Amino acid sequence: MVEQSWGQDLCESGMARPYAPPVWLAMKQVLLVNGKEYTVYVDPATPLLFVLADELHLNGPRFGCGMAQCGACTVMMGTQVIRSCAKPVGSVGNAAITTLEGLGTPESPHPIQQAFLDEGAMQCGYCLSGVILTAKALLDARPDASDAEIRDALGGVLCRCFAHARMLRAIQRYRDARHPS
């Protein structure tokens, strides 16, 4: 006889699993997302991703793995990129959150988004929050980052369509346009 649990720790035969204590602490929280304030009532342990997707109805950050392994849920917190699937909303405080939607619009894309358009740098596009925001955060901090540094920064990001070549070209195009060498 075995019992089922979720996540990494698949049950071992015969081992009982203690119940988690009741956790439902819906608390008021004010979030600053893409320049706007939102008040939500959620369990502070809820991953930020679910609040952004299900409460704020944002489409940019998306669930990929729930374990901070792939980058599909990436958002910016201040000037840093974080994995919103592994970030309890209660720990966000009043930090400014920026999602892919917060950079530009289809009518008026941010220059890095425009660079991706110019290079046709996507296939299914599910990974773009991780790719674009990670590159932007790096180049905000280090405008003259080398190609190798850009690749290093993207080491935690997956694109399963393998549009890598075009994405790197788009990032280089954006870098070179704002920081001519």
Partner 1 sequence: MISRREFLHGAGALIVSFRSAGHGLLQETHGRAGTHASSMDPDQLDSWIAVHADGTVTACTGKCDLGQGIFTAQTQLVAEELCVSLAAVKLVQCDTAVTPDQGSTAGSQSTPTNFNVQDLALAAATAREALLSMAAEHFGENASRLSAKDGAVTAPDGRRVAYAELIGSKKFNLPVDQHARRRSRNEWTVLGKAVPGLDHPALVTGTFEFVQNVRVQGMLHGRVVRPPEMGAKLIAVDEGSVRDIAGLAKVVVREDFVGVIAETQFAAIQAARQLVCRWSPGPLLPPQETFFEHLQQLPSRDELLVDSGDVSTSLAKADRVLRARYTWPYQMHGSLGSSCAVADVRADQATVWSPTQSVYPTRSCIAMLLNRPPESVRVIFVRGSGCYGLNGADAVSFDAAVLSQGVGRPVRLQYTRQDEMMWENFGNACVIEHRAGLGQDGSIVAWDRENWVANRGSRPGYDRPGNVISGMLLGYEPESQEPAPAKPPTRKLRNGSNTVPEYFAGCAGGACNGSGSVQSERVLTHSVASPFYTGPLRSPLRIQNTFANECFMDELAAAIHADPVEYRLRHLRNERLRGVVMAAAKAAQWESSAGRGAATGSEATGRGFACVAYEGDNGYAALVADVVVHRITGVVRPVKFTIAVDCGPISNPDGLRNQVEGGLLQGTSRALVEEVTWDAKRVTSVDWEGYTSLRLDYEVPAIETVFVVPDNVKATGAGETSITVTPAALGNAIFNATGARLRQAPFTPARVLAALEAGQEARSA
Q: What is the DSSP letter of 25?
A: -
Asked if 14 touches partner 1 (CB under 8 A), the answer is no
Asked if 33 touches partner 1 (CB under 8 A), the answer is no
Choice from 79, 80, 151, 178 touching partner 1 (CB under 8 A): 151
Asked if 163 touches partner 1 (CB under 8 A), the answer is yes
Binding to partner 1 (CB under 8 A) within 111-150 occurs at: 113, 116-117, 120, 122-129, 131-132
Binding footprint of partner 1, residue count (CB under 8 A): 80
Asked if 15 touches partner 1 (CB under 8 A), the answer is no
In one-letter notation, the amino acid at residue 22 is P
Choice from 146, 160, 178, 179 touching partner 1 (CB under 8 A): 160
Asked if 164 touches partner 1 (CB under 8 A), the answer is yes
Asked if 41 touches partner 1 (CB under 8 A), the answer is no
> Minimum distance between the CB of residue 109 and partner 1, rounded to whole angstroms?
6
Asked if 178 touches partner 1 (CB under 8 A), the answer is no
CB of 32 or CB of 114, closer to partner 1? 114
At residue 51, the 3 state secondary structure works out as helix
Give the position of tokens 């009532």. 41
- Cα of first residue to Cα of last residue in the chain, in angstroms, is 65
Question: What's the Cα-to-Cα distance from 137 to each of 23, 71, 99, 172, rounded to whole Å?
Answer: 35, 14, 12, 14
Asked if 156 touches partner 1 (CB under 8 A), the answer is yes
Reported as type and span, the H/E element at residue 168 is: helix 164-178
What is d(CA 118, CA 150) in angstroms, rounded to the nearest whole number? 19
Asked if 84 touches partner 1 (CB under 8 A), the answer is no
Asked if 29 touches partner 1 (CB under 8 A), the answer is no
CB under 8 Å to 138, separation ≥6 — which residues? 145, 149, 150, 153
